[in-house]
C-alpha cells in the first residue's frame, strides 16, 4: 500500500525507477486519497481521472492554464472555461512525464490570504479543519500537506506560496521574478506574479523548480537562471545570515511564532553560520501600503478583459451592451476582486496617478535598494513567514485590513522581486510555524542549501498530527 501522507516526490520517482509501482498505480493511490480526505478539506476544484503520462503526479493551482482541463481562477466569471493550450510550466511538467492530478482551490484571481475568497467555497487546513490553509494558494498547500499530491505548483504575488506553505507545514518557493514563465497564467498583477513549487521537503522543491525554471520565448520577462543544485550539505559553514530587526520583532508576530523562529536562528549559529542583525525600516513601514496600490492597479487593468464578450460568464440579464458589461462583471466577480478593481482604477485615474501609483513605484525602488544594501553584508535574510499560525475560518473575513496584514512579512521581498523560501520550523499551539529565507536575485541555490540544512536539523514531521 502506498502511504501518500509521507511519500515525497523524490521517493515516488525512486519507486517508479525501481518499478516497484507503476505510474497508473501511483496515480490511483492519490485519487483514492483525494476521494477519502478531500470532501472534508476541499483542496481541489477539479480532479483528473486520467491526464496521461507515466511519472510523478502533480497538483496545479487553478490560475494555471491547462489544455482540456477547466481553469476558473476560483471565480464565477470563468466557470466552465477550458483552455485550448497549456501554460508553459504545465508543458514543461508534462515533458518530464508528470501527471496532472487536478486543479487546486484558490482565492478568486489569487486575491486573498485564506482561500475563503474562492467562489467555490473555502479550503480547510489539514492540521485543523476549523482553520484556514492560508492563501491565495491554500488548495495547493493543503493538498500536499494532506497527502493528496506529492507536490504542487502555486503562484505568488505578495505571499501566496510562502504564507499557505507556512500555515500548512510545507516547503514553498517564490522564485526570483522572471525565472519562471507566466505564459498561460491567469494574470493578477503582472509585475509581481510568479509561479513556484510547493513540496514536502527542500529537495523536492528544488527538483520541481529545476523543471519549470528558464527562459521562455512566450514570456519576454523571463531570463536564464543558474542551474539548480539539489541540496545535500547539512552544515552552514561560511554562510552569512542576516536578521532584519523590524521583520522579526514586529508587534503583530505571535509569541509562539517568535519563539520557534528564534530557535531556528539559533540553529543557524549551531550549524556554523555567521548571524547578525540588519535593518529594513522602510520595507516594513511602506511595504504593505505600497503593495496595495501597485497590485490593485495592475489587477484593474488585467481584469478589464472579463467583459462577457470573448469567454467566461456573460450575463443574460441585459437590455443593451453597457448593461451586459455591468451585469456580467457584477455577477461574475466576488467582493474582493471588486474591491481591488475599484482601488486600482482610482489609483490609475487622471489626477491621481502620480500621487498614488507613481509614488508607490518610487517607494518600491526604495524597498529594493534597502534589500540590496542588506545583501552587501549577508547571503540571505531570515524572518517569520506569517505573523501568526493558521487562524480560524471566518476569523478575518469581516476585516479586509486584518486579512491583508497576514502578508505583512512576505510582501517586502516580493516587491523587490527577490526569491523567498518557506520551511516549517516548529509548532505553536499544535500548528505549523513557517521560517522565511530571503535571498538576492537568482540565489535559489543558496536558499535550498540553507533550507535543507535547517530542515535536517529541525526534524519537523510534515504529516499533520490528526492524520498520522
Q: Which three cell numbers stand for residue 48?
A: 483528473
Q: What is the CA radius of gyration of the chain?
A: 21
Ranges of each domain in the chain: 9-279+369-467
145 among known catalytic residues: no
200 among known catalytic residues: no
Q: Are 337 and 299 in contact (CB under 8 A)?
A: yes
Catalytic residue among 75, 113, 136, 181: 136
Which residues neighbour 148 within 8 Å (Cβ) at sequence distance 6 or greater?
4, 30, 33, 34, 37, 38, 41, 43, 44, 59, 101, 142
Indicate the helix (H) or strand (E) that contains 259: helix 255-270
What is the chain's pLDDT, residue by residue, as a tens digit (468 residues)? 899 999 999 999 999 999 999 999 999 999 999 999 999 999 999 999 976 778 999 999 999 999 999 999 999 999 999 999 999 999 999 999 999 999 999 999 999 999 999 999 999 999 999 999 999 999 999 999 999 999 999 999 999 999 999 999 999 999 999 999 999 999 999 999 999 999 999 999 999 999 999 999 999 999 999 999 999 999 999 999 999 999 999 999 999 999 999 999 999 999 999 999 999 999 999 999 999 999 999 999 999 999 999 888 999 988 999 999 999 999 999 999 999 999 999 999 988 999 999 999 999 999 999 999 999 999 999 999 999 999 999 999 999 999 999 999 999 999 999 999 999 999 999 999 999 999 999 999 999 999 999 999 999 999 999 999
Closest CA to 385 of 443, 427, 424: 424
Residue 305 buriedness (CB in 10 A; 0-12 / 13-18 / 19+) = exposed
Number of Cβ within 10 Å of residue 468's Cβ equals 8
Q: Which three cell numbers stand for residue 242?
A: 542576516
**Per-residue pLDDT, 364:** 97
The pTM assigned to this predicted structure is: 0.97
**Per-residue pLDDT, 51:** 66
Q: Are 412 and 285 in contact (CB under 8 A)?
A: no
94 among known catalytic residues: no
Catalytic residue among 61, 94, 103, 162: 61
Please give the torsion angle defined by the CA atoms of residues 439, 443, 447 and 450, in that order, rounded to the nearest 10 degrees.
Answer: -100
- Phi and psi at residue 459, in whole multiples of 5°? 65, 35
What is the phi-psi region of residue 218: left when phi exceeds 0, alpha when psi lies from -120 to 50, beta otherwise? Answer: alpha
Catalytic residue among 123, 160, 283, 406: 160
Q: What is the CATH number of domain 9-279+369-467?
A: 3.90.1300.10
Please give the torsion angle defined by the CA atoms of residues 421, 180, 198 and 431, in that order, rounded to the nearest 10 degrees.
Answer: 40
Amino acid at each position: 500500500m502506498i502511504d501518500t501522507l509521507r511519500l515525497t516526490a523524490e521517493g515516488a520517482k525512486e519507486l517508479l525507477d525501481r518499478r516497484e509501482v507503476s505510474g497508473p498505480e501511483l496515480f490511483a493511490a492519490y485519487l483514492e486519497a483525494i476521494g477519502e480526505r478531500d470532501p472534508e478539506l476541499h483542496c481541489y476544484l477539479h480532479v483528473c481521472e486520467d491526464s496521461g503520462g507515466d511519472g510523478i503526479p502533480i497538483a496545479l493551482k487553478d490560475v494555471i492554464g491547462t489544455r482540456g482541463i477547466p481553469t476558473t481562477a476560483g471565480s464565477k466569471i470563468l466557470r466552465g472555461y477550458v483552455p485550448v493550450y497549456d501554460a508553459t510550466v504545465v508543458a514543461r511538467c508534462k515533458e518530464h512525464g508528470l501527471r496532472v492530478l487536478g486543479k487546486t482551490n484558490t482565492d478568486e484571481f489569487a486575491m486573498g490570504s485564506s482561500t475563503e475568497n474562492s467562489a467555490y467555497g473555502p479550503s480547510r487546513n489539514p492540521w485543523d479543519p476549523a482553520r484556514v490553509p492560508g492563501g491565495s494558494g491554500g488548495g495547493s498547500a493543503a493538498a500536499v500537506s494532506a497527502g493528496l499530491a506529492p507536490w504542487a505548483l502555486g503562484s505568488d504575488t505578495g505571499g501566496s506560496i510562502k504564507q499557505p506553505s507556512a500555515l500548512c507545514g510545507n516547503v514553498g518557493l517564490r522564485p526570483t521574478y522572471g525565472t519562471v514563465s507566466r505564459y498561460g497564467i491567469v494574470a493578477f498583477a503582472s509585475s509581481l506574479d510568479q509561479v513556484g513549487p510547493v513540496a514536502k521537503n527542500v529537495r523536492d522543491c528544488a527538483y520541481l523548480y529545476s523543471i519549470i525554471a528558464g527562459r521562455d520565448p512566450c514570456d519576454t520577462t523571463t531570463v536564464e537562471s543558474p542551474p539548480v543544485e539539489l541540496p545535500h550539505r547539512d552544515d552552514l559553514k561560511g554562510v552569512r545570515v542576516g536578521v532584519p530587526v523590524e521583520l522579526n520583532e514586529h508587534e503583530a508576530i505571535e509569541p509562539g511564532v517568535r519563539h520557534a523562529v528564534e530557535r531556528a536562528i539559533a540553529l543557524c549559529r549551531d550549524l556554523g553560520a555567521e548571524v547578525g542583525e540588519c535593518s529594513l525600516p522602510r520595507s516594513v513601514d511602506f511595504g504593505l501600503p505600497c503593495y496595495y496600490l501597485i497590485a490593485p492597479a495592475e489587477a484593474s487593468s488585467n481584469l478589464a478583459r472579463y467583459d462577457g464578450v470573448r469567454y467566461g460568464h456573460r450575463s443574460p440579464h441585459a437590455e443593451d451592451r453597457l448593461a451586459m458589461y455591468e451585469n456580467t462583471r457584477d455577477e461574475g466577480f466576488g467582493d474582493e476582486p471588486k474591491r481591488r478593481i475599484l482601488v486600482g482604477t482610482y489609483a490609475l485615474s487622471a489626477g491621481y496617478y502620480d500621487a498614488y501609483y507613481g509614488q508607490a513605484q518610487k517607494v518600491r525602488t526604495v524597498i529594493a535598494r534597502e534589500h540590496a544594501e542588506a545583501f552587501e553584508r549577508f547571503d540571505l535574510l531570515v524572518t517569520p513567514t506569517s505573523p501568526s499560525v493558521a487562524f480560524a475560518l471566518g476569523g478575518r473575513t469581516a476585516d479586509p485590513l486584518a486579512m491583508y496584514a497576514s502578508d505583512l512579512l512576505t510582501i517586502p521581498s516580493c516587491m523587490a522581486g527577490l526569491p523567498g523560501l518557506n520551511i516549517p520550523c516548529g509548532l505553536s499551539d499544535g500548528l505549523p510555524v513557517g521560517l522565511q529565507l530571503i535571498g538576492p536575485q537568482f540565489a535559489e541555490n543558496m536558499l535550498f542549501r540553507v533550507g535543507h540544512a535547517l530542515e535536517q536539523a529541525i526534524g519537523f514531521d510534515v504529516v499533520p498530527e490528526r492524520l498520522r
